[in-house]
Chains A and B, each alone.
Chain A
Amino acid sequence: MNAYAVAAAVTDPEMPMLTLEDLGVLRDVRAEGSEVVVTITPTYSGCPAMATMRDDLVHRLSEAGYAARVRVSLTPAWSSDWITERGRAALRAHGLSAPGPAPRHDGPVALNLLPTRRDATCPRCGSAQVELTSEFGPTACTALYRCTGCLEPFEHVKEH
């Protein structure tokens, strides 16, 4: 297997249904001399999964016979728009709701006093009758929702 394929198959430690490639965290894999250099970008500043991602990448590449090094890139900042279609499908298949388009702003970030409006649907029953429970979920990147159709709670990966 080539080095890119090995790196692309490593999964996120907190959302293991997503590969780092599908999450948009994997930015580049290239040979530099005898080394493979993998570039990743953090999702959130405090994301506790970064160290694990780094370790997993080095381990998996080393198992495949590559001497690997991980480089962190902070620019451009990660956006939930980088989650691939395959990643979004995997999220839904595992009961999570995928993010809508990330907010864009040219001027100052506008204050938002009302609950964020999203076109989220229940990943279990497909109902659009859902309500936000909290903008902050069990991991840094998710919000909490409840479906008013089937009454199940679910997590929504936040626009970022």
Chain B
Amino acid sequence: MTATVTDHDNAYADLLGSDDAHWAFGHLPEIQQGEDPLAGVDTTVPAGLDPAGLAAYCLFLGDDALVMSHRLSEWCSNAPDLEDDIALANIALDLLGQARLLLSRAAAADPSVVPALPEGSPVPAEDALAFFREARDFRNVRLVEVPHGDFGHLVARLLLFATARLAAFERLTAHADPVLSAIAAKGVKELAYHRDYAARWFVTLAQGTDESRRRLLAGLTEVWPLQAELVATYDVAAETGVVLDEVLAAAGVDRPAVGPMSGHGHTEALSRMLAEMQVVARAHPLGTW
């Protein structure tokens, strides 16, 4: 029989018609301004604030969110059940949103932090910062970059991270930069949900079976040495300690008897993670997504 073969022999072609607007990617919106998460926001740095200092601080806050978000997104389809899979994806999405705002804020405050890209590259500043910097230029703390372990490890790490970040963001709502204070005010509402989620799971696993408690404690012992750098960087040792003690008491768990991890900078894990995260963007510096 002489089949009427469509152009690309594509059985779905008729379903789609000629309108490309249903694609999330590969469709060029007519309104290019739509991509910058700070589009339409006044990003003038207030007098009296050092733009380079503000940019460096926003980079650190943004990098922590970006790297933690990536680690959490690795849990997609791997969580113990569907509800937690969705919860972790939601938390990762909140943090990715914070990262986009903060990296954009850093770039607007001090454009010199943005890596140079080939002439004509359409890559926005936030993407240039996320995908075209080397590991040594990332400012994140080590807690967010170490590879994920089991669910007990995840709960311990998320509890430490969300507790410190929430305390820092509560304080940042009074920051002299109105953009950073606005990002923090939004973030506080999100991080409160993240911290409660991790804290409830922490207590549940600690008070659950011998096996769940054993694995939670193993995870906690593994991430605990990275807590000192976290709270020092966010300058929230006191606030964080109060909340953690409340969770540990409810869970019947003692602070692990392990000291802080020495050194600074990054572990090898960050380079490996970035290699995966950045490979597609780097292969196509002139690509439009």
Quick one: which of B169-196 are within 8 Å of A by CB?
Answer: 170, 178-179, 181-183, 185-190, 192-193, 195-196
Instruction: Render A128-148 as a binary contact track against B, CB cut-off 8 A, 1 for contact.
Output: 000001111110100010000
**Beta-carbon contact of A45 and B86 below 8 Å:** no
Bound CA–CA A45/B69 (angstroms):
13
State whether the Cβ of A74 lies closer than 8 Å to any Cβ in chain B: yes
State whether the Cβ of B167 lies closer than 8 Å to any Cβ in chain A: yes
Chain A positions within 8 Å of B167 at CB level: 108
Q: Pick the contact of B34 from A44, A54, A78, A115 — CB < 8 Å?
A: A54
Q: Pick the contact of B186 from A48, A77, A113, A134 — CB < 8 Å?
A: A77
**Beta-carbon contact of B31 and A111 below 8 Å:** no
Residues of B within 8 A of A (CB): 29-31, 33-35, 37-41, 83-84, 86-87, 89-91, 93-98, 100-101, 166-167, 170, 178-179, 181-183, 185-190, 192-193, 195-197, 199-200, 203, 239, 243, 246-247, 250
Bound CA–CA A113/B199 (angstroms):
6
Q: Pick the contact of B203 from A54, A113, A138 — CB < 8 Å?
A: A113
**Beta-carbon contact of A72 and B182 below 8 Å:** no
> In which size bucket is the chain A interface?
35 or more
Number of A-B contacts (CB under 8 A): 124
Q: Pick the contact of A75 from B83, B96, B178, B196 — CB < 8 Å?
A: B178
**Beta-carbon contact of A112 and B185 below 8 Å:** no
Bound CA–CA A46/B190 (angstroms):
10
| Closest partner residue, chain B, to A58 (CB atom) | B31
State whether the Cβ of A70 lies closer than 8 Å to any Cβ in chain B: yes
**Beta-carbon contact of B203 and A111 below 8 Å:** no
Bound CA–CA A114/B95 (angstroms):
23
**Beta-carbon contact of B185 and A109 below 8 Å:** no
Bound CA–CA A158/B199 (angstroms):
19
Chain A positions within 8 Å of B179 at CB level: 74
**Beta-carbon contact of B187 and A45 below 8 Å:** yes
The 7 A-B pairs with the shortest beta carbon distances in the complex, nearest first, are A46-B97, A45-B97, A74-B182, A136-B87, A71-B40, A134-B83, A46-B93
